[in-house]
Each structure stands twice: as C-alpha cells, then as structure tokens.
Chains A and B, each alone.
Chain A
C-alpha cells in the first residue's frame, strides 16, 4: 500500500507540475486562501484540543469561543461574551447531563475549579 501510495503520489506530482508549467494553469485553490486566518484557525483548534485535558473542558471551551468569534469576524464584545458563556453552559448540560460523556476536568487547581463550576450549574 505504501509503495502504491508513493507511486501514485509521484505520478500526481508529475501531472500537477505539467499543469502548473502549462499556459492554462490557474491559481490553485490553496493560493486563494487567507493563510494567516488558516494558520490561526489551525492553531486555535489545536490549542483547544491540547487545553481540554490541562485546564478542563469547561474553561477551555469558554476560552476557545472567546478567541474563535473574533477570528470569525464577530466584533461586538457583548455578543462574544454572552455567546461564549451561554454556549459553554448549554454544551456542558448537553454532554454531561444528556450524553453522560466523562469530559476531562483538568489537572490540579483546574480540576477543583471545574468541579466547583459544575456544582454552581447544578450538574454535580
């Protein structure tokens, strides 16, 4: 499979090179992307994924939404804060009370913070 993959990949590379070299080549879809936003988007999603186990799902989700909404073009601070807070609470209820998913609570102090927050929300 690896040999087949390498062979096909090489063939595709040759075909692409011929297309790019020809006069009919058009701008690739990748070149039409906003690379800065793409990198920021990848970084924010990856950081969120990494933060879930470290600081807990609740806090990491709230912070992720706080960063994501401005990246997506929302500028109104009230909208950002309300949607982040409300969205986090709704998702917590959905995942913990409805789907019974054992989401990470974070380590050390973040674990205690998350448990305290769940108690305030009535989840625990």
Chain B
C-alpha cells in the first residue's frame, strides 16, 4: 500500500506543467538521438547533462529518464527503415525488421517495434517500482564490506560477459581503474598519477571521460571515415500499431522478451544490447517459426524489441538502491544525482521518497508516451536524415566540450575530454570495448573507498568480506561469475592436459 500511495504522489509530481514538458522533451530528444545513426542515446544523455545543472533534481531525473527510455527505443527506427542500428541495442531489429521493410511492411514493423518496446518498458518499470523498495530495505543491512563486495561483483560481471573479447575487456577495465585512481589518495591525500599537475588533484571526472569517449570518439570516427554513406529510407515511414489479435499472437515473444530483459537489465555491465540479443536467440529456438528468423518474422522483431526496453527499469534498480550504476546510461544518471547533491543508495528511499517515486512514475509514463513520440519521429525520419552529418557532428563537438567544461567550470576538463575522445576513437579502431573502461572509472574509486572504510572499521581484517554472511554471499557470486567467464579457456586447458597425459 505504501508503494502505491507513494507512486500516486510521484505521478502527481510528474503531471505538473514543467515536469511533464521536460518528460516529453526528454523522450523526444532520446528517440531522435537514438534514431540518428552515429549518435547513441548515451551520447545524448551525456550531452544533455549540462542542461540539467539548472534544473531541480527531480526535474533533471525526469528529463533523463524520458531520454533514456526514448533513446533505447529510438535506434529501432533506423534499424527497421535503413538497416543501420541507431544504437547498439537495436542491432537485432535489423535482422527481421529491415526484411519487413523490403517487403513493403515498414509501417507494420515500426508498429510492432513501438508497441513491444512500450510493453517491455512498462513491465520493467513495474518491476522496478515493486522490487526496489524491499531491496532498498534489505540493502539498509549493508555495511561497507557489503558495498565493497557489490562493487567487486559489478566489476567482475563486466568481464564475465566479455566472452570473446576477454583480453581487450580486461585491458579496458584496468585502464578505467587506473584513470579512477588519478588524484589524491583518499586516506593519506598523497597525489597519485598526477605528474605534478595540480588540476588532476581532484581526479578525473567520469562524466568528462564519458562525454569524451562516447561523443568525441564518435565524432573523430566519422571525420576520419573513408566511406560516405547515404541514408535514405526506401519506403514510407508511417507506423501502424498492431491490433489486439496481432498482439495476442505475439504474447509468447513479448512475455519472454520482458522476462529476459528484466533479468539482464539488473545485472551490472550488461545493457539493452545483451538483453536484445539473448531474447532473439531464445525466441529463435522457442518459436515455431524459428527457422524463418532473419526473413522478416514478427516474433523475431517483437522479442528483442521488448527485451531492449525491458532492461531500462531494472538497470536503474542497483543505481537507486545501492548507488552503483550498471551501465553508461545509469552512470550519467548517477552523475546528475551527485551534481545535485543527492546520494543514491538505500537511504534515498527514506530521505528522498518524492524523488524516487517521481522517477518511477517517469519511467512508467515515458514508456507509454513513447508510442506517440515514436510514431511522430518515424514520420519525420526522412527529414532528420537530410541533416548533413558535418553540421550535426560540428554541434555535437561543441556540446561535448561545453558539457565537459560545465562539470567543474574548469577548462582542464575540456582538454581531458579531448584526450579521452582520442583514446575512445583508438579503442574503437582496435576493437577494444569502452564500457568496461567507463565502469572501471566509476566503480574503481567506489571500491577503494568501501575497502578502506571497511579496513578502518574492522581493524584491517581482510577476511571480513568473506566472514560476514551477506558480503560472503556476494563475493561468492563474484567468484562464480569469474570462474564462469574463464571457464572456456580453463576447459580447453584441461582437455589439452588430458590429451598430453593420455598420449604420454
């Protein structure tokens, strides 16, 4: 009952003039940014961050929530119409969405994508609303050792899902941890890795790293590309929403997509892309039309689209309840909260109930309003694609540098942003994933702080992380994740050793 009452308060906060306008503006910005290839919704969130400085914390979170929910969907518009995913999570939409466009069924494809995304998003928002408060209650029992264990789990799970990119993901993570260590030591205030530059004494802001790596890196990638691509939709861009009968035919795909997306979204280090791909793979095996996937099958589009937006709500649970972001998008939300002096964590559910439940309401309403916004943006897609990339990327560069400057009103952050932009570009070219780096920059200092405070509180007893039941359980999960991620090479090694010894 408390949850419902608080949710009603959140909804009443949301339906003020300015908050509702900001929610709509956020959804529009997110869908447009997601729809435009080359600018992902994460870039858009990073670019929008400076504009949230002057907002109230609640309004800033409403805006970013709308941007997040809209942005995760937006990439599907370009995936379906021009076979280019506007954001990574929309990649599976090209596999069955674009073939539908080639058959002249773009309106139906867009309608399925929009509706399924909305259903997945609403499901995830409901999960977030009803799971977060009891989990936050449970998290009140967390001490510093438990928070340390949770950050370790976050770091390990980033590596665990790297699979084929294990080595490069580890390198990226270690670079991020090293960058996160720059600045004054939290215990002794001794400068680390500052090379005598006092501007680095306060460390490197992860917001600046985010903006540089995602946005400037993308800009440099575009300017140096030898290919000039013309993006022109081949057919009409009007969406037709599916009827009840059509939706009932897709109920299995939608239910599975929602479940998979909700579970995947809650795991730190994952995101919409993982949820969408797993949902597509599962649906291919389960669906009676699985053998025709890739030719324009409704279930092949519905499942990943549902899963994609189903990651949004549950991805926000660790952010709000533990203060630990699990993805770049929630990291930006963390930045916005911290810039406004709000500390996410279990206490937020006691001291900031208004904020929390307004965010819940924003997610719920955003996923519903996304239907109308998605249809409008799809209609205007041809117009959007007519903007010359040079103009778009020129203004994106300016927004990036101003955003970096605005974090601490320090011009040094602009140079750091450019530096990380070049690094982001190089990492992309060498196929090194950038998400582990970002999470390393964020989670590294957090892990260090929790570790140091645990050591101070428990007389330098290292075993405290394993002897406390909750902390021990989380560390066991982290260890299990680690073994699972290295299982393939371990198994190969065991097989080779068996062959060697059996031959010998």
Q: Which of B168, B177, B216, B388 contacts A74 (CB 8 A)?
A: B388
Assess whether A15 is in contact with B224, with CB atoms less than 8 Å apart.
no
**The one of A29, A61, A65, A95 that contacts B429, using a Cβ cutoff of 8 Å:** A29
Q: A33-B225, A48-B401, A72-B389 are in contact. Are A100 and B220 (CB under 8 A)?
A: no
The B interface is mostly helix, strand or loop, or mixed, namely: helix
C-alpha spacing A53/B216, complex, angstroms: 20
Interface of chain A residues 82 through 108 with chain B (CB within 8 A): 83, 87, 91, 94-95, 98-104
With A15-B167, A41-B220, A41-B224: A101-B390 Cβ-Cβ less than 8 Å: no
Residue B393 at the A interface, CB < 8 A? yes
Across-interface contacts of A100 in B (CB, < 8 A): 53-54
Determine whether A46 belongs to the interface, using a CB cutoff of 8 Å to chain B: yes
Residues of chain A lying within 8 A (CB to CB) of residue B220: 38, 41-42, 45
Given A42-B422, A49-B401, do A68 and B390 touch, yes or no (CB 8 Å)? Answer: yes
Bound together, the chains give a CA A103 to CA B414 distance in angstroms of 12
Q: Is the CB of B171 within 8 A of A12?
A: yes
Q: Count CB-based A-B contacts (< 8 Å).
A: 132
Q: What is the chain A residue whose CB lies nearest that of B226?
A: A34
**Nearest CB in chain A to that of B55: its residue:** A99
**Which single member of B170, B223, B397 contacts A38 (CB below 8 Å)?**
B223
- How far, in whole Å, are A28 and B431 apart by their CA atoms in the complex? 10
Who on chain B is nearest to A29 by CB? B429
Q: Which chain A residue has the least Cβ–Cβ distance from B179?
A: A1
For residue A73, CB closer than 8 A to chain B, the reply is yes
Cβ of A120 within 8 Å of any chain B Cβ, yes or no, is no
Contact assessment for A101 and B431 in the assembled complex, using a CB-CB cutoff below 8 Å: no
Q: When chains A and B are docked, how far (Å) is the Cα of A52 from the Cα of B417?
A: 14
A72 and B394 contacting across the interface, CB-CB below 8 Å? yes
Could you tell me which residues of chain B, from 135 to 185, have a CB within 8 Å of some CB in chain A?
Answer: 167-168, 170-171, 174-175, 177-178, 181
Contact between A45 and B174, CB atoms less than 8 A apart: no
- List chain B residues, Cβ under 8 A from A37: 223-224
Closest Cβ neighbor of A2 among chain B residues: B178
Would B216 and A95 count as touching, CB distance under 8 A? no
- B414 near A11: Cβ-Cβ < 8 Å: no
Give CA–CA (A121, B394) in the complex, Å: 22
Q: Is A5 in contact with B171, judged by CB distance below 8 angstroms?
A: yes
What residues of chain A lie closer than 8 Å to B431, measured between beta carbons?
A: 29
Q: Say yes or no for B197: interface residue by CB 8 A criterion.
A: no
The answer to the question of A8 belonging to the interface, with a C-beta cut-off of 8 Å to chain B, is yes
Say which residue of B216, B395, B429 sits within 8 Å of A33 (CB atoms). B429
Residue among B181, B405, B430 facing the most chain A CB atoms (10 A cut-off):
B405
User: Does chain A have a CB within 8 A of B254?
Assistant: no
B411 A52 Cβ-Cβ under 8 A: yes
Given A34-B226, A52-B411, A53-B411: A72 and B388 interface contact (C-beta under 8 Å): yes
In the complex, whether A4 has a CB less than 8 A from a CB of chain B is: yes
> Which B residues are CB-close (under 8 A) to A71?
223, 390
Residues of chain B with a CB closer than 8 A to A104's CB = 411
B203 CB to nearest chain A CB (Å): 14
With an 8 Å Cβ cutoff, the count of chain B residues facing the other chain is 48
The interface residues of chain A, by DSSP majority, are classed as: helix
- Whether A61 lies near B181 (C-beta < 8 A) is no
A109 at the interface (CB under 8 A from B): no
User: In the bound complex, what is the Cα–Cα distance between A46 and B401 (angstroms)?
Assistant: 10
Residue of B nearest to A40 (CB): B223
**Could you tell me the distance between the alpha carbons of A103 and B401 in the complex, rounded to whole angstroms?**
11
Chain B nearest CB, measured from A80 CB (Å): 9
Q: Is A110 an interface residue (CB 8 A)?
A: no
Complex contacts, B418 vs chain A, CB 8 Å: 42, 45-46, 49
Nearest-neighbour CB distance to chain B for A70, whole angstroms, equals 8
Decide: B223 and A72 in contact? CB cutoff 8 A: yes
Q: Is A35 an interface residue (CB 8 A)?
A: yes
A21 is an interface residue with CB less than 8 A from chain B? no
Q: Which residues of A contact B409 (CB under 8 A)?
A: 102
Pairwise interchain contact B216-A8, C-beta atoms closer than 8 A: no
Cα–Cα distance between A5 and B391 once the two chains are bound (Å): 38
Given contacts A1-B178, A52-B414, A104-B411, A69 and B430 within 8 Å (CB-CB):
no
Q: Which residue of B lies closest to A73 (CB)?
A: B390
Chain A residues with CB under 8 A of B417: 49
Residue B415 interfacial (CB < 8 Å): yes
Q: A73 to B388, Cβ gap below 8 A?
A: yes
Query: Does B487 have its Cβ within 8 Å of any Cβ on chain A?
Result: no
User: Is B368 part of the binding interface, using a Cβ–Cβ cutoff of 8 Å?
Assistant: no
Q: A33-B225, A34-B226 are in contact. List 11 more A-B contacts (CB 8 A).
A: A5-B178, A29-B430, A33-B224, A42-B422, A65-B394, A68-B397, A72-B223, A72-B388, A87-B391, A91-B395, A101-B406
A sample of 19 cross-chain residue pairs with beta-carbon separation below 8 angstroms, ordered by A number, consists of A8-B170, A28-B429, A33-B226, A34-B226, A38-B223, A42-B220, A48-B397, A49-B415, A49-B417, A49-B418, A50-B415, A52-B411, A65-B394, A68-B390, A68-B397, A74-B390, A91-B395, A98-B54, A103-B402
What are the 10 A-B residue pairs with the smallest beta carbon separation, nearest first?
A72-B390, A38-B224, A41-B223, A33-B224, A5-B174, A29-B429, A68-B394, A30-B429, A49-B414, A8-B171
